[in-house]
Amino acid sequence: MQKRDLHIHTDFSDGHNTPEECVLTAIEKGLETVGISDHSFIDDYTYEPYWLKKDAEDEYKKTVFELKDKYKSKIKVLCGIEQDFYSHHPAKGYDYIIGSVHFLKTADGFFAVDENLEDMKSHIKFFDNDIYNFTDLYFETLSDVVEKTDCDIIGHFDLITKFNKGNVLFDEKNARYISGFRKAADKLLKYKKPFEINTSAVYRGFKTEPYPSNAIINYLKEGGAKFILSSDAHRKENIAALFEKTEI
CA distances from 213 to 64, 162, 181, 201 (A): 32, 11, 11, 11
| C-beta of 117 vs 178, nearer to Zn ion | 117
Give the residue, chosen from 57, 82, 95, 152, that forms a contact with Zn ion under the rule CB under 5 A. Answer: 82
Site size for Zn ion, by CB under 5 A? 3
Which residue, 88 or 125, is less far from Zn ion as judged by CB? 88
Choices 74-82, 128-136, 206-214, 219-227; region in contact with Zn ion by CB under 5 A = 74-82
Interatomic CA distance for residues 60 and 8, integer angstroms: 13
User: Closest distance between Zn ion and the C-beta of residue 120, in Å?
Assistant: 16
Is residue 232 within the footprint of Zn ion (CB under 5 A)? yes
Q: Which stretch binds Zn ion (CB under 5 A): 14-22, 57-65, 173-181, 229-237?
A: 229-237
d(CA 111, CA 23): 32
Q: How far is CA 2 from the centre of its chain?
A: 18
Choose among 210, 244, 229: nearest CA to 5: 229
The minimum distance between CB 136 and Zn ion, in angstroms, equals 20
Phi, psi angle pair for 69, to nearest 5°: -75, -45
Measure the CA–CA gap between 182 and 143, rounded to whole angstroms. 10
Query: 100 or 135: whose CB is closer to Zn ion?
Result: 100
- Residue closer to Zn ion (CB basis): 158 or 232: 232
Q: In whole angstroms, how close is the CB of 72 to Zn ion at the nearest point? A: 25
Question: What is the DSSP-derived secondary structure letter of residue 88?
Answer: -
Quick one: which segment of 60-68, 82-90, 143-151, 186-194 binds Zn ion (CB under 5 A)? 82-90
CB of 222 to Zn ion, least distance (A): 25
Could you tell me which stretch among 13-21, 75-83, 181-189, 205-213 binds Zn ion (CB under 5 A)?
75-83
* Selected range binding Zn ion among 17-25, 42-50, 77-85, 127-135, rule: CB under 5 A: 77-85
Q: How far is CA 74 from CA 29, 36, 44, 71, 121, in A?
A: 12, 16, 39, 5, 46
Residue 43 and residue 110 in contact, taking contact as beta carbons nearer than 8 Å:
no
Residue 100 interacts with Zn ion (CB under 5 A): yes or no: yes
Distance from C-alpha of 179 to C-alpha of 137, rounded to nearest angstrom: 12
Using CB under 5 A as the criterion, which residues of the chain lie in contact with Zn ion when the complex forms? 82, 100, 232
